[in-house]
Each structure stands twice: as C-alpha cells, then as structure tokens.
C-alpha cells in the first residue's frame, strides 16, 4: 500500500476516475483522494487536467493518454502497474471510456491481470437521462453520430424501430444538420429532448416533438451552443401499424413455424415491421 496524507490507494492498481462535466463541485471526495494519492495520472489532455488539479491543489504527475497514442502507450503503463505503480485514468470531463479514451488500456489490464477499480461519478449520459422525462427503464447509448449526412441517416434507419430511449452526443456545429437528418427518417412527431451545457450556468433541457424542437432551436442561436446530449424516445408501435390481414397471416404461420420466423415472413408478405409483429405475437398468441 502507498500512503499520502490520510488516504491510501492500492499499489499496482488502475483507478478509473470520473471528473466534473461542468460544475467543479460535482467531483467526489473519493475522486480527489485518489487523484492526490496515486503515483501517476493518465490524462486525455494534461493541460486540461492540470487546471483541475491546480484548482484542488493536487500535484500528482500526469501522463498523456489519448485516442492517438493509447494503444501504443498501454504496454508502458501496464509495465508500470505490474511494477507497483498506482495510476488514475481521467478524461477531459465525465467518466473515462464513455465516448472517451480508456477502453484499450482497461481491456489490456484485464487481460494482464492488473487490478482495475472504477469510481462512480459524473456522466453526461446519465445526468441527461435522469432529467429528460423519457422512459429510463431501457435505454441505449449510441455515442457520437457519424459526421456525414448519409451515415447519420443510415444510423437513424437502423434504430428507427428500437423501442428503447436512445441517447446521442452531438457537437454544436452539426446539431442542426443532425436533427434535419433525424426528421427525414423518424418524422416530426418523435419526441426528442435536447440537453445542453449540463451542470453549467446556461444548462438547458428542452423536449418537444422533433418538428417543434427544430423550430425552437432555430429561434435563438444561443440554443445551438455548448456540449449537447440528444435523447430520442423509442419507437411505439400503433395499432394501425398491424393490419388485420397481417395478423391473420401471422396467426396461420405461427401454427407451423417459430414466432420469430413467422413474424419475419409475415412482414415480408405484408410490408409491415417484423419487430412490431413479433411483439404483438408475444403478447397475444399462445
């Protein structure tokens, strides 16, 4: 065990340390203790992290670990860990690995038998979801959207029938184009929540049908500024999505085939959504 002041950290251990996404008061005491007492901090941007450390009077040495060098530097850090060094991994803001570097290092640590200790803490995904007013029992985090329109539309098409709340990160300079692509695929009635500048002075959480949200966004250029999280309500199959003749076909086919196969064939025959047929079958067929 290595010890400084009143806090101890384990030797040969990688700590995953979330840092504030805006409000410095959101950092936990445990995170501060770990950052102050490890031997080394692996940071996405050492200059950014140094400002955080200076604010809390922490003098621990930092080491740059980012998207462009993580795979090359992982072996070096694992050697140090195996030699007894304690290391904290931080990103610029929020929880490391969540659309931030760290996966390769943690994966390699697990393979090498190095102890990994994750700390709970700030995360824009969870912060936005908890305040959005959309269903939170099932959700998917989709990260950043593709930079090109075709890629975005393809992604939205893949997710159009997903019944979970979907969460995306998006940048200010692409938010308008991304919402336009979403509108083209999902339509104007899909409920969408825009959460921007979370925990900061100009925090905004605004939800509306997609068509109305786009209009609202265009009313004030300030609404397209800052770090953004998009939360999209999952698909909800309406009764009219399943015509009576499709249900009759499904009822006949399911007598001879597994429900999943029967739903797929019925969808092909009648041009309806197989996921909606499958769900209806689960709820209504013996």
- Supply the pTM of this predicted model: 0.80
Which of 71, 69, 66 is closest to 96 using CA atoms?
66
The C-alpha atoms of residue 141 and residue 248 are separated, in whole angstroms, by 36
**Side-chain half-sphere CA neighbours of 179 within 13 A:** 28
Provide the pLDDT for residue 286: 72
Cβ-based neighbours of 72, under 8 Å, separated by 6 or more: none
Please give the pLDDT value at position 7: 66
* CATH code given to domain 125-232: 3.30.950.10
Q: Which of 138, 194, 139 is nearest to 170 (CA)?
A: 194
Cα distances from 201 to residues 25, 167, 198, 226, 229, in angstroms, run: 13, 23, 8, 11, 16
The residues near 47 (Cβ < 8 Å, ≥ 6 apart) are: none
All residues at 6 or more sequence positions from 171 whose CB lies less than 8 Å from its CB, including other chains: 144, 228
For 111, the 3-state DSSP assignment is: helix
Q: Count H helices and E strands in the chain, helices first.
A: 11, 12
Cβ atoms within 10 Å of 209's Cβ, excluding its own: 15
Fold observed for domain 13-122: Cobalt-precorrin-4 Transmethylase; domain 1 (3.40.1010)
Judged by DSSP in three states, 196 sits in: strand
Per-residue tens of pLDDT for the chain, all 286 residues: 444 445 689 999 999 999 999 999 999 999 999 999 999 999 999 999 999 999 999 999 999 999 999 999 999 999 999 999 999 999 999 999 999 999 999 999 999 999 999 999 999 999 999 999 999 999 999 999 999 999 999 999 999 999 999 999 999 999 999 999 999 999 999 999 999 999 999 999 999 999 999 999 999 999 999 999 999 999 986 555 689 899 999 999 999 999 999 999 999 999 998 888 998 999 888 7
Residue 242 has what pLDDT? 85
**Residue range(s) of every CATH 3.40.1010.10 domain in the chain:** 13-122
For the chain, residues classed under CATH 3.30.950.10 are: 125-232
């Amino acid at each position: 065990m290595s010890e400084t002041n009143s806090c101890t950290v384990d030797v040969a251990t990688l700590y995953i340390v979330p840092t504030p996404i805006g409000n410095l008061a959101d950092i936990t005491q445990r995170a501060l203790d770990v950052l102050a007492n490890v031997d080394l901090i692996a940071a996405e941007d050492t200059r950014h992290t140094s400002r955080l450390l200076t604010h809390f009077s922490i003098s621990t040495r930092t080491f740059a670990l980012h998207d462009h060098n993580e795979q090359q530097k992982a072996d070096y850090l694992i050697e140090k860990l195996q030699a007894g060094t304690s290391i904290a991994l931080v990103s610029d803001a929020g929880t490391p690995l969540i659309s931030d570097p760290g996966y390769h290092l943690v994966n390699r640590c697990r393979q090498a038998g190095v102890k990994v200790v994750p700390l709970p803490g700030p995360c824009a995904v969870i912060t936005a979801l908890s305040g959005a007013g959309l269903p939170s029992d099932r959700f998917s985090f989709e990260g950043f959207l593709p930079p090109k329109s075709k890629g975005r539309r393809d992604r939205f098409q893949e997710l159009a029938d997903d019944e979970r709340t979907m969460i995306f990160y998006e940048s200010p300079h692409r938010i308008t184009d991304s919402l336009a692509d979403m509108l083209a695929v999902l339509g104007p009635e899909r409920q969408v929540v825009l959460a921007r500048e979370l925990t900061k002075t100009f925090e905004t959480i605004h939800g509306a049908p997609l068509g109305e949200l786009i209009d609202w966004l265009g009313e004030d250029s300030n609404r397209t500024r800052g770090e953004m999280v998009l939360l999209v309500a999952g698909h909800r199959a309406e009764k009219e999505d399943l015509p009576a003749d499709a249900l009759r076909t499904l009822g006949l086919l399911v007598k001879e085939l597994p429900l999943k196969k029967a739903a797929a064939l019925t969808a092909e025959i009648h041009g309806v959504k197989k996921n909606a047929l499958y769900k209806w079958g689960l709820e209504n067929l013996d």
